[in-house]
Amino acid sequence: MYRRLGGFIADHWILVILCWILLVAGLKAVAPRWDDVTQDGDLAYLPEEMTSVRGGVMMAAAFPDDKAKSQLAFVIERPSGALTDADKAVADEIVARLNPTSDDWDADLAREWLGSIAAGRLAEQFDPASDEYRQQLVDAMRIDDIWSYQTEHVGSKLVSPLSDDNGQATLVVVRLKNEFMAIDNIPAVKAALDLIDQLKNEPDFPAGLNIGISGSAAIGGDMLASAQESVDRTEITTIFLVLLILIIVYRSPALVVVPLLVIVTSVAVATSVVAMLADFAAHHEWLHFQIFKTSKIFITVILYGSGTDYCLFIISRYREELEHGFSKAVAIARAVTHTGDAVVASALTSMIGLSMMFFADFGKFRNSGPAIALCLFVALLACMTLAPAILRMLGKTVYWPFGIKQRDPDAEDEALPNTTFADRFWNAISRMILARPGVVLVVSVLLLSPPVYSVLAPIIRHEDEGVRISFDLVNDLQDDRPGVQGTKLLRRHFSPGETGPITVVAKLPGTDFISKEGIDRLNWLTTQLRDVEGVSFVRSMAQPYGDDPRALSFNQRRRVSQAQRHAFTKERFVTQVPELNGSVTRLDVVLDTDPFSGASIATLDRIDDRLMKIAADPEHGWKGTEFDYIGTTAGIRDLTAVNKSDRWLIQQLVVLAVFGVLLVVIRRPIICVFLMTSVVFGYLVTIGMAQWLFTWLYGDSFVGLDWKVPIYLFVILTAVGADYNIYLVTRILEEQKLHGPRKGLQVAIVRTGGIISSCGLIMAGSFVAMMTGTLRAMIELGFALSFGIILDTFVIRPMLVPAFFAIIQRLNREDPRPAEALSDTNVVGQIASDASAPAAPHPAIDKYDAADQDATDHEPIDHDTDEREADQGETEDKRTEPSPVGSNNGGASKSDIHSSEGTTRPGAKMGSDRVQRTG
């Protein structure tokens, strides 16, 4: 297949380039914009069986008019002293401008809200807000309800006690219809900040008054804005770093331009294809496919890293063929033929590994993995067709200004070049590995073991998972973000949980929670929840103000009784849907801790434990009650559970899938087991190092690696590590077929050391670009991926794997089978072929081979004689060498396929007792 593809490209390279140009232009013309079809958010993609999802469904059925899913709080602070009437007028102005049902602000409305002529005069100081401007704010923020210190029943909780140290503050809580990580919260946060700026620019704005924004929607909006900034920075930085590394490594303008041109094309095509697929799925419910805005970060860095690697594999082999004297047409045909197996197998491994995320329960994982795999498939097509076509067009000029130095076929050791520093370095490494493979393997593993121990030891001791994971979104943001600054302002005066309370939804058929009996039951349940460690207060039908029912005075009890009879309280806390007959109620539980923190999740766990016991106890009238939870903390708690199960499942599936690919490609079970062990070992070293680094870097503020880091790190490192494994091992087995086990291993180390390390640098550089983002999660993942790739390409792949091969070879010294009987590796697409059968001739390759032969001064070549002499020389050479690693007797080999072409490099010495390499 790759012979025919290489020949076609050699003959029709102009057609290939034109097809890609037309494809890019056509897709750009018809594909929707990325931002128009991509989604965002996290909690919206939890499985249906999770309690927060069930609670949301019950809330929608029982309280259809309450559509609030997140909150944005304006924090108005007088840092020294009590709030003045002018300060409160600012809060009222915010409410008036955001309230879609209110009239223009005037003195009469001010008097209605504030109940004082003085306050009305203060309110007149603000310019009236136009209907158009107010509607713009409402449309941007998707407001469901607004609470302030004037709101009945809850208003008293929105003014802080006066503090000698921090003064006094009040909140304006805007309840939004968006989930806190919905993309619509970006314009909502911007609208809130614009409103604050306008108020501060008013001529009579109270001096010394501070205003900030907090709440789950503010944090979510900041998260999404930071993610968008990270996407933009990553795209620019990735191109720059890949460009810089290519210039430093290859110092040839064309070698820089060719991979970049191919990858820019593949990214444009891939993102257009994915966008069209997402748009199609949006109009056809049977196709469950979504793509997310932040996925573009992973698409960009993976395509630039992997795509450039695939291009360099072909470019490197193209150079080898040119150095052996082939014309540019034959050289590119042979390069595609001889690298196609390794490149396709490498890409297939990555695609299969990423596709395993499809089996995750979490919707973002389930959709993102296959989408990235699809984009990688597009990059593979570009690298296997467009890159060779451009190389065919440029010919040897791609290596300008250094050119191509043709190798001397009569050189003593053509297989082991020793002309550059890189050649000498890898020659030295190969000699060291072959001399002391056991020492190299043991010392390398011991040096890398401490971070592995730090990860595994807690698991072995059953203390925790070994890797600390954080779901604290506030901790993920930089300190200069408005939501972070506003949250710090809020924490000086209020319970942090006020901006994201947990809503407990209770359904008990046959009970009317508006009746006296129902209220009595709720009073007891409210007390039980209030006693849970970490709970600040609880608002319910029985206690709408959130007071402790055991500490109420007579007047306070009368006030609570009046509130219970109020229509607002009934509509707020008990379902008004006739079919439910008052059997569903809600309790708002405000915690002492931040809604995003691990401490809040632990408190919710304690609440859940207590409610489960209450639902099983017949004594207090709550037996059989269905309790579910909604809110930020409930959603993050479910996300924690889903992430844990998904991480374990995906890791197992990725290991099995990648191992399966390795087994098909390499067909050596023992080698495949070692390769997978080395990949997992590299992951453990990397995750341990990342945890050490960020613990030291962030100090006490570090609560753990972001929850997305372990799963993406494992999938990407496993897939990429398998890529390099396939490229290295197939080359080892190919060279062993030609030079014998020991010499072949040395040649493979020298030949692949430079290209694998270069590819590793480029891949690591693309991941380093993620560290230029503003999200801590991206910084952590960028470092971990970069470190893992460097570790893989400079230690595991060139040191541990060859050392293992050398050890196995020593153990196999007494293999009685003759070298001729030992089979080499098979490759994808060639498993069922007969090793002895000659490959079908291809017109393009045969034509160019004939042209090359006519151009030489050598006598006509008898290919059959040459192959017999080569086999004889190889046999004689292998009699003194150990047998290849893990050989078996079945399957066609890559070098069988290569040698069956019946071509010899121009200028090759005939009749030599030395094996003539065929690539």
pLDDT digits (tens, 9 = 90+) for 63-89: 888 777 788 889 999 988 889 989 999
Task: Please check the confidence at residue 848 and state whether its pLDDT lies above 70.
Answer: no
DSSP code per residue over 661-688: HHHHHH--HHHHHHHHHHHHHHHHHHHH
Task: Please check the confidence at residue 622 and state whether its pLDDT lies above 80.
Answer: yes
* The predicted structure's pLDDT at residue 906: 45
Here the tokens at position 788 are 């893992």
Task: Please check the confidence at residue 901 and state whether its pLDDT lies above 90.
Answer: no
Task: Please check the confidence at residue 895 and state whether its pLDDT lies above 50.
Answer: no
Categorize the per-residue pLDDT at 755 as very low, low, confident or very high, splitting at 50, 70 and 90.
Answer: confident
Task: Please check the confidence at residue 516 and state whether its pLDDT lies above 60.
Answer: yes
Q: Is there a contact between 379 and 307 (Cβ–Cβ < 8 Å)?
A: yes
Measured CA angle at 131 (ends 127, 133), to 5 deg: 75
Amino acid making up residue 174: V
* The predicted structure's pLDDT at residue 406: 63
414-437 burial: b if 16+ Cβ within 10 Å, else e = bbbbeeeebbeebbebbeebbeeb
Mean local confidence (pLDDT), 655-678: 89
* The predicted structure's pLDDT at residue 189: 86
Categorize the per-residue pLDDT at 650 as very low, low, confident or very high, splitting at 50, 70 and 90.
Answer: very high
Q: Give residue for tokens 């270069």.
A: 758
Categorize the per-residue pLDDT at 151 as very low, low, confident or very high, splitting at 50, 70 and 90.
Answer: confident
* The predicted structure's pLDDT at residue 606: 95
* The predicted structure's pLDDT at residue 701: 78
Q: Which residues are 588's β-sheet partners?
A: 503, 539
Q: Is there a contact between 379 and 305 (Cβ–Cβ < 8 Å)?
A: no
Task: Please check the confidence at residue 754 and state whether its pLDDT lies above 90.
Answer: no
Report percent pLDDT > 90 for the chain.
Answer: 23
Q: Is there a contact between 714 and 698 (Cβ–Cβ < 8 Å)?
A: no
* The predicted structure's pLDDT at residue 418: 60
Categorize the per-residue pLDDT at 459 as very low, low, confident or very high, splitting at 50, 70 and 90.
Answer: confident
Lowest mean pLDDT among 45-59, 517-531, 764-778: 764-778
Here the tokens at position 323 are 């150095």
What DSSP character marks residue 496?
A: G
* The predicted structure's pLDDT at residue 526: 92
Here the tokens at position 666 are 């390499």
**Residue 47 exposed, middle or buried by CB count within 10 Å (0-12, 13-18, 19+):** middle
* The predicted structure's pLDDT at residue 399: 73
Segments making up each domain of the chain, as ranges: 412-466+674-919
Task: Please check the confidence at residue 20 and state whether its pLDDT lies above 50.
Answer: yes
Categorize the per-residue pLDDT at 584 as very low, low, confident or very high, splitting at 50, 70 and 90.
Answer: very high
Q: Give residue for tokens 């086999």.
A: 871
pLDDT digits (tens, 9 = 90+) for 696-749: 988 887 888 988 899 989 988 888 877 788 878 888 888 888 888 888 888 888
* The predicted structure's pLDDT at residue 140: 60
Task: Please check the confidence at residue 183 and state whether its pLDDT lies above 80.
Answer: no
* The predicted structure's pLDDT at residue 115: 37
* The predicted structure's pLDDT at residue 191: 87
Categorize the per-residue pLDDT at 467 as very low, low, confident or very high, splitting at 50, 70 and 90.
Answer: confident
Closest Cα to residue 297, out of 221, 226, 355?
226
Q: Is there a contact between 800 and 678 (Cβ–Cβ < 8 Å)?
A: yes
pLDDT digits (tens, 9 = 90+) for 785-830: 999 999 998 898 888 999 999 998 888 764 433 333 333 333 333 3
Q: Give residue for tokens 């004082």.
A: 116
Rounded-to-integer distance, Cα 16 and Cα 342, Å: 22
Here the tokens at position 177 are 């219809």
Task: Please check the confidence at residue 877 and state whether its pLDDT lies above 60.
Answer: no
Q: Which of 126-140, 269-283, 847-861 has the highest mean pLDDT?
A: 269-283
Q: What is each CA distance from 697 to 117, 330, 386, in whole angstroms?
A: 56, 54, 44
Report percent pLDDT > 70 for the chain.
Answer: 81
First-to-last C-alpha distance (Å) of the chain: 17
Categorize the per-residue pLDDT at 417 as very low, low, confident or very high, splitting at 50, 70 and 90.
Answer: low
pLDDT digits (tens, 9 = 90+) for 249-306: 777 787 788 888 999 999 999 999 999 998 888 888 788 888 887 788 888 888 888 8
Task: Please check the confidence at residue 117 and state whether its pLDDT lies above 60.
Answer: no
Mean local confidence (pLDDT), 326-347: 84
- Considering the entire predicted model, what is its pTM? 0.76
Task: Please check the confidence at residue 53 and state whether its pLDDT lies above 80.
Answer: yes
Mean local confidence (pLDDT), 155-170: 84
Rounded to 10°, the helix 216-250/482-491 angle is: 140
Categorize the per-residue pLDDT at 119 as very low, low, confident or very high, splitting at 50, 70 and 90.
Answer: very low
Task: Please check the confidence at residue 403 and state whether its pLDDT lies above 80.
Answer: no
Lowest mean pLDDT among 550-554, 622-626, 652-656: 550-554
Mean local confidence (pLDDT), 125-154: 66
* The predicted structure's pLDDT at residue 310: 86
Rounded-to-integer distance, Cα 307 and Cα 259, Å: 8
Select the more confidently predicted residue: 454 or 164.
454
* The predicted structure's pLDDT at residue 120: 40
Q: Give residue for tokens 């081979």.
A: 849
What are residue 478's phi and psi, to 5 degrees? -75, 155
Sign of CA dihedral 824, 827, 829, 831: positive
Q: Give residue for tokens 């306008």.
A: 198
Average confidence score pLDDT of the chain: 79
Select the more confidently predicted residue: 782 or 620.
782
